[in-house]
Structure 1
């Protein structure tokens, strides 16, 4: 069982479903509304756990009405929360609009995630003992850099999902072993990704492609399913990839593509992440 430590965000997602997303200045009627725990860090942690890894989470919630529920969703998934702290102020939230085709628009407000600025001794020990450190960019970049440097110094592989896309320091690029990006992110980051030895680019329903340190690419086809909501599919892909990275890129890609596809068949982010059994059943077909 791979040991994964996630340093990342946890949000409450406010999900509204509509037939079509509104144009600027337009009001449309919604078809439904739900509160769904999410955040890229939490989603990826749950996905890695459900794909079979042992997972610990380093992050922050606020002291508002969402905090306990956000903690409970990690506990219920079997993710370790001994390094999850509660900070004064609001928890992170994301306003998500999902249209009739399953496509989404998302606005993220960082809340407590933006105040995750210090990694203490216990955090650093957990990172050093892990097989893979998994990070995203919904927390301060300096925190990600500090975690990545410590991981690199202790032989822990560093996997970064550089989303939402932003300019990264040369120091952070130099500390990354594996990057997972979608096509839009790959286009925005451009040649900066050349600094990373292992890059996986997701292609939506067309699967994903891996580029290794030797420059050789390995494609994996998409898994055809009936799409309901694409929210969280990329996070599910990334978590499953991290859980099986030690088995080699070909096997990890198969797990990731299958898990990501299954995540699109249900509404929501953390609520749509498939179990290991569900992934294995679809893989066996």
Structure 2
């Protein structure tokens, strides 16, 4: 059964430099490679879900520049519906990424056109209402996130929020979130506790379901009914972790929308992330549904 996923969020062009060791303040280091890859947490999650088998609708904004054209074309090539992706008279958002030899990354995001996604425009709610899941992140204005979350709640759509970048969240957003998916660092900031299990308990006071991703240690799920599920990661040699979190969320939402039980959905999401970190780039590293199935079959 094909599930429909709406994504309301950011679209960026990722400007990625690969280095042996990331530079410290005031330091210049040589780079090994440089790539421009369409990304942004919204677009990344849209592509991840589409490659995993969902019918995906992207709602957001790009600029009137070559980056905007390339972002739109990349989404379309991944079968993402871009009828909700508007073009605005400013530069597209960019993410300036440094990836070290261990696959770790540091990122500076310049919002650009994403700053205009501060609410719903005509047609947005219809795109959200026709979906089973709505994926949100925090690379657009909070007012836009809050408006989309409220539209999801009004229309009975499962609202999934990735709280990145991690900042304190208002009640008008959290009251409409069904599933929160932070990484362990974001969970610690939001919960005020670095222990994942205590953070999980604290976050469940705010939303009905939580998945905390733990990097190489897997993921931890909980809900208000007391269910707890822990799924280990798949050990691989990472070359670029930029897309791991967004791949996880896109695959997870697709699997849950198709009716998978939580443990299986988490396992598939972990497999998708494991495949992605073995490749360079964000959207370019995301696996297809068949690649995820084949990867799981070998483990």
Alignment TM class, shorter chain as reference = over 0.9
- 1:215 CA displacement: 2.7
Superposed CA RMSD: 1.0
- 1:67 CA displacement: 1.1
**Unmatched segments (≥5 aa) in structure 2:** 192-201
For residues 31-89 of structure 1, the C-alpha deviation after alignment (integer angstroms, 9 at most, x for no partner) is: 11111111000000000011111100001000122111010000000000011000011
- For residues 161 and 278 of structure 2, the distance between their equivalents in structure 1, rounded to whole angstroms, comes to 25
- 1:154 CA displacement: 1.1
Residues paired across the two proteins, number: 285
- For residues 117 and 184 of structure 1, the distance between their equivalents in structure 2, rounded to whole angstroms, comes to 26
The residue number in structure 1 matching 2:250 is 239
The residue number in structure 2 matching 1:260 is 273
- For residues 123 and 248 of structure 1, the distance between their equivalents in structure 2, rounded to whole angstroms, comes to 30
The residue number in structure 1 matching 2:82 is 81
- C-alpha contact (below 8 Å) 1:96/1:105 kept by paired residues: yes
- 1:118 CA displacement: 3.2
Residues 86-165 of structure 1 aligned to structure 2 (within 5 Å):
86-165=87-166
Partner secondary structure for residue 181 of structure 2:
strand
- For residues 64 and 238 of structure 2, the distance between their equivalents in structure 1, rounded to whole angstroms, comes to 36
- C-alpha contact (below 8 Å) 2:119/2:145 kept by paired residues: no
- 1:212 CA displacement: 1.5
- For residues 250 and 142 of structure 1, the distance between their equivalents in structure 2, rounded to whole angstroms, comes to 33
Say if 2:209 is the partner of 1:208. no
Deviates more, 1:130-139 or 1:241-250: 241-250
- C-alpha contact (below 8 Å) 2:203/2:210 kept by paired residues: no
- For residues 274 and 210 of structure 2, the distance between their equivalents in structure 1, rounded to whole angstroms, comes to 20
The residue number in structure 2 matching 1:44 is 45
- For residues 210 and 155 of structure 1, the distance between their equivalents in structure 2, rounded to whole angstroms, comes to 22
- C-alpha contact (below 8 Å) 1:92/1:112 kept by paired residues: yes
- For residues 215 and 73 of structure 1, the distance between their equivalents in structure 2, rounded to whole angstroms, comes to 41
Say if 2:64 is the partner of 1:53. no
- For residues 179 and 82 of structure 1, the distance between their equivalents in structure 2, rounded to whole angstroms, comes to 27
Partner secondary structure for residue 86 of structure 1:
strand
- C-alpha contact (below 8 Å) 2:178/2:209 kept by paired residues: yes
* TM-score normalised per structure 2: 0.93
Partner secondary structure for residue 195 of structure 1:
coil
- C-alpha contact (below 8 Å) 1:205/1:261 kept by paired residues: no
The residue number in structure 2 matching 1:248 is 261
Deviates more, 1:89-98 or 1:166-175: 166-175
- For residues 27 and 193 of structure 1, the distance between their equivalents in structure 2, rounded to whole angstroms, comes to 44
Deviates more, 1:90-99 or 1:239-248: 239-248
- For residues 143 and 282 of structure 1, the distance between their equivalents in structure 2, rounded to whole angstroms, comes to 37
- For residues 205 and 70 of structure 2, the distance between their equivalents in structure 1, rounded to whole angstroms, comes to 40
- For residues 167 and 4 of structure 2, the distance between their equivalents in structure 1, rounded to whole angstroms, comes to 28
- 1:192 CA displacement: 4.7
* TM-score normalised per structure 1: 0.98
- For residues 205 and 63 of structure 2, the distance between their equivalents in structure 1, rounded to whole angstroms, comes to 37
For residues 97-138 of structure 1, the C-alpha deviation after alignment (integer angstroms, 9 at most, x for no partner) is: 001111000000000001112312311011111100100000
Q: Which runs of 4+ in 1 moved over 2 A?
A: 191-194
- 1:282 CA displacement: 1.2
- For residues 214 and 118 of structure 1, the distance between their equivalents in structure 2, rounded to whole angstroms, comes to 33
